[in-house]
Structures are given as structure tokens and as C-alpha cells.
Amino acid sequence: MSILDNVDFLKNEKRNNINIKILRQAVESGNVSHANLFYGNSMNLLGKLALFYSASINCANSGCGLCNTCSNTLKGVYSNVLVVEAMGSILRIDEVFELQRFMNVSSYIPGKKICIIKEVELMNDEASNRLLKTLEEPPDEDCIFILLAEDISVILPTIVSRCTVFKWDFNLEKDKDLKFDRRQLDDILNKGIRNIIKSESSKDTGNSLSLNLSLDLINRLNKMAEKIKIWRNGELNKIKDSGAAGSDIKKYKKILESSYKRKLNKFLNLGINKVFDIISAWLEDIMAVKSGAKEDGLNYSKNYFFIAENTSNIKIDKIFKLLEAVEKNRIYLKYSIYKELALDNIFLQFQNLS
């Protein structure tokens, strides 16, 4: 049994399972590729997965999860594993130097020296070329690189072609950063949806309730996204303090800005998708109660009595239509910059279910 078999944040699907099998075989045969590129939809979870793999490589039992090597690696404090955030090294090439130094010093602990580089897509040309050189001529055969990226289309092709590439699909529900946020959305939504349903049953037909709810949600999402802004400002300050040349700072700012937009967009999409999940769950529950289900047959059993008492006016065909609209809007969401409109539209329909 290896910790690689129990990565609970990976979706249980074919490609992931094949990837895991390949990694396990590499670990067990001692034939680990020295240049690996992991990419997938969460930098946070890519980082975690890279640590799982690193632990398995150096553990005497191919990743028992219990020994010192495993537990220290998973905590990120094992001295044979270096984690570099590529973000900062765009100008501060010293981070690339740091990893070259790390790879050149013979390790005092037996085993492989592993360097994990996060957000490889954000490296500038200078840092990329230096990295490429290191990949082409690794200091010694005990060096292993695991490069991490959310988007490989912008990485130097010569780097990609040097690596064994693995694409991963993550179960984003397991992403801790988002988990905490979700509870805030749950609270607003459950209260808001109850109000909308109540106003329907009392024939109070203004649209302000639904519009206010979508406004509340967007405000909350934007507030939650402030941590991304804080991250961007922190990176900007680091660079300003680094004494880099003005032209480099300008270049970096541009890259940082597009990275910021990408992160923000992704965050908002995830948030609104979560909102859609909750709305669908409510709609399914209303249908279930109407067709005689009891509490334990619902997504949210605590809503059973509320639904039973307040939804007699709601028409089943309208629920179907709204469920369909939710799924359509999920697809539009990827392309739309007006995310508020998607929510407005859905809540307006919600308010007119009877």
C-alpha cells in the first residue's frame, strides 16, 4: 500500500488512475524520470500531489506515509526536497541559482534530491532558459525535478518536451482554500432561497429579493477574492524591493497582472459554480418532496419541513426548465465576463416558479 493510492483530492477517473500507476511503477522500479511536469486545475493541489510523489520516491517502503521521510516530506520540511515558487524568480533569478546550488550540493541524507517548482508558466525567458539548461544537464543522477503548472500552453516548448508530462484532474471540493469560503456562500444562499420561496407562496411578487440575493453573493465573492489582490500586491512589493531594473519591473508587472486576472476569473467561476450546485440541490429537493420523498432522500434533509410547507404552488415543469438553465449558464460562465447576469437570470427564474 502506498500513499499514492490514497490521494483523496484526485478525481477517480481513468487518466488519474493511469498516472498513479505509472508513478508507482517508477517508484517501485527505482526508475524515476528526472524531469516531470504536472499540470492541472489547482496549483495548491498540484503542490500537495508533488509532495506525495516525493515522499514515495524517498521512503524506504515506497510511500508508507508513516516513517520520518514520509511525514517530513508531506509537511514540506524534508531537507532533500526544495520547493521553489517560480512567481518570485521571474526577476530574482537568485531562486534559480538557489535550486542549482541545492542540486549541486551532495545530499547528507541518502536518497534523491527533489526540486518542486510551482507556477512554471510564470517564469520569464531568462529563468526558463536557465532551468532548461539544468534539466538538460542535471548536476547528478540523484536529482529530480517536478515542475507544476495550471496552464502549459505558455511554457517554453523546449521545457515541456524535456519532461515526462502528467495531466491531473482534481476534486476541487478537497481544496482547503475554497472549503472555508464555501460555508459563507451556503449561509447567504440558504437564507436567500428560503426568502424567495416564502415570498412566492405569499404571492408577494417583486423581483427585488432575487436581485438583492445575487448582488449579495457577488459582493461576498468579490470580498473573498480580496486575498488574491493581497497576493498580487505582495508580489509587486517584493519585486519593487528587489532592486531590479525598471524595464524588468514593467515586464513583470504585465505578467503579474495577467496572472492575477486568471486567478480572479477562476476563483469567481468556482464560486458561482458552487452557487449553482446549491441551487440545483434545492431544486432537486423540492421535486423530491413533491414526489413523496422523506428527509433522508434529500440533499439537505434539514430543509424537508420548510419545503413541504412552502412549495405547493411551485410547478414541476418550471423546476425542470430552471435546472436546464443552470446547466446552460455553467457553460456560458467560462466565456462571460458578466457573471452577475448569470446569477440574476437564475434567481429571477427561481422567483417565478409558481
Phi, psi of 84 (to 5 degrees): -115, 130
| Complex with Zn ion: residue 54 or 351, whichever CB lies closer | 54
Nearest distance from residue 18's CB to Zn ion, in Å?
24
Give the rounded distance of the alpha carbon of 284 from its chain centre.
27
Nearest to 154, CA basis, from 268, 262, 17, 21: 262
Residue 128 contacts by C-beta under 8 Å, 6 or more apart in sequence?
Answer: 155, 156, 159
- State the alpha helices, DSSP H only, in 30-67: 43-58
CA distance 134 to 159: 10
CB 50, min distance to Zn ion, A: 16
Nearer to Zn ion, 64 or 308 (CB): 64
Residue nearest to Zn ion (CB): 59
**Which part of the chain contacts Zn ion (CB under 5 A), choosing from 53-61, 117-125, 150-158, 273-281?**
53-61
Which stretches does DSSP call E strand in the chain?
Answer: 35-40, 81-85, 113-118, 143-149, 164-168
347 within 8 A of 188, measured Cβ to Cβ: no
Binding part of the chain for Zn ion, among 70-78, 199-207, 251-259, 346-354 by CB under 5 A, reads 70-78
Write down the least CB distance from residue 25 to Zn ion, Å.
Answer: 18
When asked if residue 244 is in the footprint of Zn ion (CB under 5 A), the reply is no
CB of 158 to Zn ion, least distance (A): 35
Is residue 117 within 8 A of residue 143, CB to CB? The reply is no
Please state the closest distance from residue 69 (CB atom) to Zn ion, in A.
5
Long-range contacts for 274-281 (Cβ within 8 Å, ≥24 apart)? 274/178, 274/182, 274/185, 275/185, 275/189, 275/217, 275/343, 276/326, 276/329, 276/330, 276/346, 278/185, 278/186, 278/189, 278/190, 278/193, 279/189, 279/193, 279/322, 279/326, 279/346, 279/350, 280/323, 280/326
* Among residues 46, 70, 127, 307, the one that binds Zn ion under rule CB under 5 A: 70
The Cα–Cα gap between 21 and 127 comes to 32
Q: Does 67 bind Zn ion (CB under 5 A)?
A: yes
Q: Which is nearer to Zn ion, 72 or 280 (CB)?
A: 72
Candidate ranges 63-71, 103-111, 175-183, 297-305; the one touching Zn ion (CB under 5 A): 63-71
67 vs 281 by CB, closer to Zn ion: 67
Rounded Cα gap, residues 58 and 109, in angstroms: 10
Among 59, 163, 221, 275, binds Zn ion (CB under 5 A): 59
Residue 65 Cβ vs Zn ion, minimum distance, rounded to whole Å: 6
Q: Which is nearer to Zn ion, 59 or 163 (CB)?
A: 59
Q: How far is the CB of 129 from Zn ion (least distance, A)?
A: 36
Among 26, 44, 64, 262, binds Zn ion (CB under 5 A): 64
**Least distance in angstroms from the C-beta of 201 to Zn ion:** 59
111 binds Zn ion (CB under 5 A): no
Kindly list the residues in this chain that would bind Zn ion in the complex (CB under 5 A): 59, 64, 67, 70
